[in-house]
Structure 1
């Protein structure tokens, strides 16, 4: 069974939601049979790469709230994250364009290291003092290497603005087609969609329901097997 997760590194509820989903998956009896795939979603696809702002300033400008209200929201998010065992800096964080992060995540997917990289990106953005957005490409390369990727391969992607760009945009178009207008957005076996950082119990119930309705092919016992072709060739009828 496949679970697809549309998310953005700049989204704090995606950070929290990932931890809640993984808590549910960790207690799921069939967890080894669940494939998790991360899909790209930009909260601000039109933001220029060099447009980096403190999170509090971004919140006040985008939502028209006061600095006190924005800070209170960050404190609440910090408490929610802490409840899931996550570190969260409630002040001093930056906000910027995430397109290059998503492109690197597609490289990581191709190398089988996607979950490792997205977790490092989340931690870097929400828990660490160093910014994801102001130190240049080498900061991203450093994280890619920590996730198990080749440094030169990561540099090559960042140097080529077209590398994996179509993959990111394809994910975003698919999210729109599925009706996702916010993240995190979880799609289970292409049957059920879950929006938001739901409690682990909700994810657990959804996993159970999707698994119970997931019906792999069941062979019919018709006696001796009939002739067929396989990796070792085709059965030759005997006279």
Structure 2
């Protein structure tokens, strides 16, 4: 069975959702027969590579929040992340374009290290002090930490066309499947799950998809309170 996960490195709910899904997968009886593929989805497509700003500035500018509201949202996200054992910096994080990171993730998939690189990128973006947006060598370091060759990573980053078509095709496929936000999980093209759902929802989805090869059906949609997503209009933050 194949599970495809559309996500973005800049999406905090993708960070949390990956951890929740992996808890469900670890307890799934058929986990050794499940292939997980991570697909590209940019929350801020077309953003210039050098257009970098603090996360709190983005939230106040783009979504009309006060700085206090933006900070409260970050604190709430940190609580959600901590519940999954994930570190989360609530201050002094940057936001920028993720296209090059997605290209590098496609390279990592070809080398069999995609999940490892995604974990490294999430950890660097959400938990570490140094920005992932301002220096290609930072991405090379993370690629090496994920088990990739440094020169190979540099070659991908130096060529703006490398894996660009693959990223764009992932995004077109997400649109065809009706994804309006991420994370978005598609299990064997039979079951769809939108958002960072609770572990038990992913468990149910895995069980259903294992025995169901019908056309794509959703077991948890974007209106579910626990299924928080990030989309073009921002990231939902449950107020509880």
So what's the TM-score if we normalise by structure 1? Answer: 0.88
Per the alignment, residue 153 of structure 1 pairs with 152
Contact residue 190 and residue 213 of structure 2 kept, 8 A: no
Post-superposition offset of 1:213: 2.1
Q: 2:16 corresponds to which residue?
A: 16
- Could you tell me how far 1:192 is from its partner in structure 2? 1.1
SS at match of 1:213: coil
Instruction: Determine if contact 2:53/2:94 at 8 Å carries over to the other structure.
Output: yes
Larger Rg: 1 or 2? 1
Q: What are the ranges of 5 or more consecutive residues in structure 2 without an aligned counterpart?
A: 215-240
What CA distance in whole angstroms lies between the structure 1 residues aligned with 2:194 and 2:136?
32
3-state SS of 1:186 partner? strand
- Secondary structure, counterpart of 1:5 in structure 2: strand
Counterpart of 2:212?
213
Distance 1:193 1:8 in 2: 18
1:78-89 equivalent positions in 2, closer than 5 A: 78-89=78-89
Give the match for residue 140 of structure 2: 141
d(CA) in 1 for partners of 2:127 and 2:165? Answer: 30
| Aligned CA-pair RMSD | 0.9
Is 1:71 aligned with 2:49? no
Once residues 46 and 99 of structure 1 are traced to their aligned partners in structure 2, the CA distance between those partners, rounded to angstroms, is 8
Give the secondary-structure state (helix, strand or coil) at the position aligned to 2:97. Answer: coil
Secondary structure of the structure 1 residue equivalent to 2:211:
helix
Superposed CA offset, 1:72-117 (max 9, x none): 0000000000000000001110000000000000000000000000
Where has structure 1 moved over 6 Å in runs of 4 or more? none
Aligned residues of 2:20 and 2:198 also touching (Cα < 8 A): yes
**Alignment coverage as a number of residue pairs:** 214
Q: Distance in 2 between matches of 1:3 and 1:91?
A: 33
Deviation at 1:212, TM superposition (A): 1.9
> Which structure 2 residues correspond to residues 156-175 of structure 1 after superposition, within 5 A?
156-175=155-174
Structure 2 length as normaliser, TM-score? 0.88
Structure 1 residue 47, shift from structure 2 partner = 1.1
Q: How do 1:1-239 residues align onto structure 2 when only pairs under 5 Å count?
A: 1-134=1-134, 136-213=135-212
| Cα displacement (A) at 1:214 | 5.0
Measured against aligned partners, the alpha-carbon deviations of 1:127-174 in whole angstroms (never above 9, x if no partner) come to: 00111012x111100010111111111100111000000000000000
